[in-house]
Amino acid sequence: MAGRALITGATAGIGNAFARALAERGHDLVVVARDTARLEQLAADLRATNGVEVEVLTADLTDPDGLARVVNAVTDSTRPVDLLVNNAGASLAGWFGSTDIADEDRQLDLLVRAPMHLMDAAIKAMSGRGHGQVVNVASVAAFTPRGAYSAHKAWLVNLSQWAHLHYADAGISVMALCPGFVRTEFHQRMGADISTVPRWMWLNADKVVATALEDLERGRPISVPSLRYKLLTALSRHLPAGLVAKIAKRGR
């Protein structure tokens, strides 16, 4: 039984790849984002191609009413969600301290408050049923100090690691997905200059999701797709603090 999955940020990039991969595996879906037309198009494609049920839920996760509607979908016992993918995200172009604090608040809402509320709702609903899975899309940015974005992702990785241990006995798997650079709309949306990022550092969203789903089935607490990023993250844990600080000063 594939069960029902709720994916935030399903209109583009990694969330869109999750939606397509899970529909292919027979999961019914709830797809969440702000752009209703794109969500409806995705839902129509997945229904036609995979014969699965797809519910469209338009919500801005930085808006308390929008977030509450998604929480309700996660806790609806008549249509249980077996897999939550906390994926929606974005980044600001500037560094913390130079950006508008109102924009930083919205970032905190999107990258921390929204996944926290949805994970809380999912764990409570799934504990009652004795099974469930949560994927929190973080980033390799979580492993080096590089401004507010990496701090938000570090928070998500840390809570995921703890929840993975704490809720295992309740039948709930929690995993943090930590990709490196992935070709999506992310950098274009934030207006970043990506011309200096070497080609070898770019990952494909479908491959990232395929690895994530394998790691989730294996019960891993953290998924770092691709050998190159596994090596880089392992290295970054053992680098001298001075070198980490140098890296932190360069780009996001």
Ligand X SMILES: NC(=O)c1ccc[n+]([C@@H]2O[C@H](COP(=O)([O-])OP(=O)(O)OC[C@H]3O[C@@H](n4cnc5c(N)ncnc54)[C@H](OP(=O)(O)O)[C@@H]3O)[C@@H](O)[C@H]2O)c1
Q: Which residues are catalytic?
A: 149
Alpha-carbon gap, residue 49 to 121, rounded angstroms: 31
Establish if 62 lies at the interface with ligand X (CB under 6 A): yes
Task: Count CB-CB contacts under 10 A for residue 187.
Answer: 17
Alpha-carbon gap, residue 76 to 97, rounded angstroms: 40
Q: Which span sits near ligand X by CB under 6 A: 19-27, 83-91, 121-129, 162-170?
A: 83-91
- Closer residue to ligand X, CB minimum distance, 170 or 190: 190
Enclosing H/E stretch for 209: helix 205-217
Establish if 115 lies at the interface with ligand X (CB under 6 A): no
The least CB distance from residue 243 to ligand X, in Å, is: 22
Number of helices followed by number of strands (H, E) in the chain: 10, 7
Establish if 147 lies at the interface with ligand X (CB under 6 A): no
Candidates 13, 132, 147, 225: give the one binding ligand X (CB under 6 A): 13
The least CB distance from residue 39 to ligand X, in Å, is: 7
Amino acid sitting at position 121:
A
Classify each residue of 189-214 as buried b or exposed e, where b means 16 or more C-beta atoms within 10 Å of its C-beta: eeeeeeeeeeeeeebebeebbebbbe
Establish if 90 lies at the interface with ligand X (CB under 6 A): yes
Establish if 143 lies at the interface with ligand X (CB under 6 A): no
Q: Which spans of this chain sit near ligand X (rule: CB under 6 A)?
A: 8-15, 33-35, 38, 60-62, 87-90, 110, 137, 139, 179, 181-182, 184-186, 189
